[in-house]
Amino acid sequence: MKRLLFVVLITVCSVSWAGWERIGTSDEGGLTVYVDTSTIRKNGAISRMWFVDNCSKVQTNPIGDRYMSDKSLRAFNCRDETFAIISLVRYSGSMGQGNVVRSATFQERELEWSPIVPETVGETKWKIACGKK
C-alpha cells in the first residue's frame, strides 16, 4: 500500500511541474519565474503564453491578499515590444498549488499594454514568446 501511495504521489507531483521551465529570478519577494513553452500561441505579431511567478515566502498585496504564486496568461506584441496580462490566478501555495486567492481575466478591449523593460525577466518572457531568444 505504501508503495502505491508513493507511485501516486510521484505521478501527481510530476504532472503538476511538467512543462514548467525556470527562466529567471528577481530579488523582489524571492521570485522565480517559470514558463511553459508548449502554451505559446501566435497570431500575427501577437504571441500568448502561460507563466508561473513563484515566491520563496508569502507575499501580501495592497488589499491584503496573501499568496505564494501566480499563474498568468500574457500577450506579447512582438513588433511593438509591449505586453499585457490576459488572465491572472493567484494561489496560496507554490507553483500554482493550494487555494485560489484571487483571479481576473480581461477582454481584449480591456487589455493594458505596457512596454517591455530591457534587461529584466519581462524582457526574457517577451523574447521566449516571440522567438527572439
Q: What is the pLDDT of residue 6?
A: 34
End-to-end CA distance of the chain: 47
Give the residues of the chain that fall short of pLDDT 70: 1-18, 28-29, 133
Map grid coordinates 500561441 to a residue. 41
* Whether the Cβ atoms of residue 78 and residue 132 lie closer than 8 Å to each other: yes
Domain 19-130 falls under CATH 1.10.3080.10:
no
Q: What is the pLDDT of residue 29?
A: 62
Q: What is the pLDDT of residue 18?
A: 58
Residues β-bridged to residue 75: 48, 84
Q: What is the pLDDT of residue 38?
A: 95
Query: Can you tell me the distance from the alpha carbon of 49 to that of 37, in angstroms, rounded to the nearest whole number?
Result: 7
Q: What is the pLDDT of residue 9?
A: 34
3-state secondary structure (DSSP) of residue 58: strand
Q: What is the pLDDT of residue 133?
A: 66
Q: What is the pLDDT of residue 27?
A: 72
Domain residue ranges of the chain, discontinuous segments joined by +: 19-130
Q: What is the pLDDT of residue 26?
A: 80
3-state secondary structure (DSSP) of residue 14: helix
